[in-house]
Amino acid sequence: MRDGSLSQPGELMTELRARLAGFPLVDLGHYPTPVDALPRLGASLGLDLWVKRDDCTGLGLGGNKIRQLEFYLGQARDQAADTVVITGAVQSNFTRSTAAAAAKLGMACHIQLEERVADVTDLYRSGGNVLVEKLMGATLYSYPRGEDEAGADRALGAIATELRQQGHTPYVIHLAANHPPFGALGFVAAACELVGQYRGNVPFDEIVIASGSALTHCGVLLGLRGLGCDVPVRGICVRRDSGAQARRVRQRLQDLADLLDMANPVAEDDILLFDGVLEPGYGRMSVPVQHAISETASREGLVLDPVYTGKSMAGLMALAGAGDLNGQRILFWHTGGQPALFAYGDSVLG
């Protein structure tokens, strides 16, 4: 097993937490999220498998985005914003979590839904996260292109301008990678949390996590390296191939280090990505994803979603089958997203 112990853990933890404390924050989630064993699924894969349960963050059916929103909406509160504006895919977990956080904080929420997935059903457009957003009182818009981050952000700007003309004070959560990665701060804090759960000795050979916007992936990776922990973090590509995703991860890591006013502690060979289960593309069901969802549910009673956790578990299974994981004791980071499963009810069982 890899030695996940930290050098000078107390000093490094104190320094990193002090850097995080320089940013405004609102408390939204239930922490620390549990780390649970998955013995039956692990045995089927020949692994000592564990799961970090960020599906248990509590607010609005939970998920990893609650950690990000604590920092985004901390800024919004400091700016006296009364409205939050965000963009994402039709079945975005981030937009659903934002609607929940806005409701809790007494803010209005305006959500732009992008057409990232082709040939979808009526259930996809009305169920799952969309249903929850409507229940929470969000105002929904549509954006016709799914791979146009700059255009989606411009459209958000137009929504925000209209809201200002109506007398509101909107806070915009941008999509493109040319904005500071405030959300990733939540996962630097999550890395501190994980290290704290094990008192400075993280007992895993590898961590497997979904890599999409890359903020979750980068926050955990930079946080662990900033604490002196060398456990590998493998990102499973859910939106871009490994080449494109590696470029995004590099950029966002440097952006995050700059935001924290620290040297980037992540080496080039720390950036591990796997795109072997990416096809047929973002948000599209596949046989490996169906299998991962079914196996995890039937063996452990643990529910995954088709877009992020189902795909990242499918990637973990593919790597295990090929003998390509860094050892046998593996931590799977469950980023939540289960509400999206109900928008795929007509395809998830095959």
CB atoms within 10 A of CB 167: 7
* 312 has catalytic annotation: no
CA 3 to CA 11: how far, in whole Å? Answer: 19
Distance CA 301, CA 138 (A): 31
Q: What DSSP assignment string belongs to 51-77?
A: EEEGGGS-GGG--THHHHHHHHHHHHH
- Helix 309-322 vs helix 287-300: angle between axes, to the nearest 10 degrees? 90
Residues in CB range of 211: below 8 A, 6 or more apart: 217, 235, 236, 237, 238, 245, 249, 273
Nearest to 249 by CA among 266, 262, 232, 263: 266
Quick check: 83 and 163 in contact, CB under 8 A? yes
C-alpha 70/C-alpha 162 separation (Å) is: 26
Q: Which of 34, 25, 8, 1 is nearest to 226 (CA)?
A: 8
C-alpha distances out from residue 277 to 186, 290, 315, Å: 27, 11, 6
Rounded distance between C-alpha atoms, residue 51 and residue 74, angstroms: 28
Q: Exactly one of 5, 7, 44, 92 is catalytic; name it.
A: 92
Q: Give catalytic residue positions.
A: 92
